[in-house]
Amino acid sequence: MQGRCLCGSVRYRVRGQAYHVTHCHCASCRLASGAAFVTWFTVRALELEWHGEVRHYQSSMGVQRGFCPRCGTTLSYRHEASPDEIDLTAATLNDPEQLEPEDHSWTQDMLGWMRMLPLLPRHRRHRQYDHSA
């Protein structure tokens, strides 16, 4: 599996299997990404190869979040309690469809309006605005 940041200055390759594919709803992930949740997958750290500079931020005790210093894309999460593993953002994969989320984690922090998702209108691309109003 391969992936990259938005600007392409950081790329990665995973030689092993992904596991623990989850939608994380914790407040830290929401703030770090600016999104309602982040989909992560876990790999063995030894099976991950980075190309380009990844910067790290200690977001909480024992947690390092990796990001592209040029475009800011959230790329990785690593907890010192699991030094042999690293989580990567599934949406940064060249083919994110190759993974299927298994569950939701940190649902105690889930935004209440997430339950409305199936009920909201859908637009194939951008929504059309009524400029006459």
> Quick check: is 7 in a domain?
no
> Quick check: is 20 in a domain?
yes
Supply the pTM of this predicted model: 0.87
> Quick check: is 44 in a domain?
yes
3-state helix, strand, coil in the chain (%, to 5): 20, 40, 40
| pLDDT tens digits along 73-121 | 999 999 999 999 999 999 999 999 999 999 999 999 989 888 877 777 6
**End-to-end CA, the chain:** 48
| pLDDT tens digits along 30-83 | 999 999 999 999 999 999 999 999 999 999 999 999 999 999 999 999 999 999
Indicate whether 131 pLDDT > 70: no
> Quick check: is 43 in a domain?
yes
C-alpha span between 93 and 108 (Å, rounded): 27
Give the rounded distance of the alpha carbon of 10 from its chain centre.
Answer: 15
> Quick check: is 22 in a domain?
yes
Q: How many structural domains comprise the chain?
A: 1
> What range does the domain containing 60 cover?
12-109
Q: What Rg value do the Cα atoms of the chain yield, rounded?
A: 16
C-alpha span between 100 and 110 (Å, rounded): 20
Q: For residue 126, which amino acid is it?
A: H
- Neighbouring CB atoms inside 10 A of 2's CB total 13
Q: Domain holding 40: CATH number? A: 2.170.150.70
